Amino acid sequence: MSKINVTLQLNGKSVSAEVEPRTLLIHYLRENLNVTGPHIGCDTSHCGACTVDIDGKSVKSCTIFAVQAAGAEVLTIEGMAGADGKLHALQEGFREMHGLQCGYCTPGMIIRAYRLLKENPTPSDAEIRMGISGNLCRCTGYQNIVKAIQYAAAKINGAEYKEAAE
Partner 1 sequence: MNAPTDPSAIERAEKLQGMGCKRKRVEDVRFTQGRGNYVDDIKLPGMLHGDFHRSSRAHARIKSIDTSKAKAVPGVLAVLTAEELKGVNLAWMPTLAGDVQMVLADGKVLFQNQEIAFVVATDRYIAADAADLVEVEYEELPVVIDPFKAMDADAPVLREDIKDKKDGAHGPRKHYNHIFNWQIGDKDLTDAAFGKAEVATKDLLSYQRVHPCPLETCQCLVSFDKIKGEITIYGTFQAPHVIRTVVALIAGLPEHKIHVISPDIGGGFGNKVGAYPGYICSAVASIVTGLPVKWVEDRIENLSTTSFARDYHMTTEIAATRDGRVTGLRVHILADHGAFDACADPSKWPAGFSNIVTGSYDFPVAHLSVDGVYTNKAPGGVAYRCSFRVTEVAYAIERAMDIMAQKLGIDPVDFRVKNFITREQFPYQSALGWEYDSGDYHTAMQKAVEATGYRKLREEQKAKQEAFKRGETRDLMGIGVAFFTEIVGAGPSKNCDILGIAMFDSAEIRVHPTGRALGRMGSKSQGQGHETTWAQIIATEIGIPADDIAIEEGNTDTAPYGLGTYGSRSTPVTGAAIAMAARKIKAKAQMIAAFMLEVHEGDLEWDVDRFRVKGNPEQFKTMTQLAWAAYNKVPPGMEPGLEAVSYYDPPNMTYPFGAYICVMDIDVDTGVHKVRRFYALDDCGTRINPMIIEGQVHGGLTEGYAIAMGQEIVYDAMGNVSGISLMDYFLPTAVETPIWETDYTVTPSPHHPIGAKGVGESPNVGSVPCFANAVNDAFKFLGSTHIAMPHDNYRVWQAAENLGLHK
Partner 2 sequence: MIPGSFDYHRPTSLSEAVALLSSFDADARVIAGGHSLIPMMKLRLATPSHLIDLAAVGELRGVSAEGGEIVIGAMTTQHELIASETLAARLPILREAALLIADPQVRYVGTLGGNVANGDPGNDMPALMMCLGAVYVLRGKAGERKVAARDYYQGAYATAANPDEILTAIRIAPPPAGHGYAYEKLKRKVGDYATAAAGVILTLANGTVATCAIGLTNVAETALFADAAAGAVVGSKMDKAALARASAAAEAIASPAADGRGSAEYRRKMAGVMTARALSRAFARANG
Site string for partner 1, 38-57 (x = CB under 8 A): xxxxxxx-xx-x--------
Segment near partner 2 (CB under 8 A), from 19-27, 76-84, 98-106, 137-145? 19-27
**Cβ contact 74:10 at 8 Å:** yes
Of 96 and 120, nearer to partner 2 (C-beta) is: 120
Of 46 and 98, nearer to partner 2 (C-beta) is: 46
**Cβ contact 133:116 at 8 Å:** no
Asked if 68 interacts with partner 2 (CB under 8 A), we say: yes
Q: How many DSSP H helices and E strands does the chain contain?
A: 5, 5
Angle ∠(88,11,4) on CA atoms, nearest 5: 155
Asked if 106 interacts with partner 2 (CB under 8 A), we say: no
Asked if 86 interacts with partner 1 (CB under 8 A), we say: no
Q: Residues 96 to 115: which contact partner 1 by CB under 8 A?
A: 96, 98, 100-107, 110
Report in angstroms the alpha-carbon separations of 40 from 45, 46, 56, 81, 114. 10, 10, 21, 22, 20
Segment near partner 2 (CB under 8 A), from 8-16, 38-46, 96-104, 152-160? 38-46
Of 72 and 145, nearer to partner 1 (C-beta) is: 145
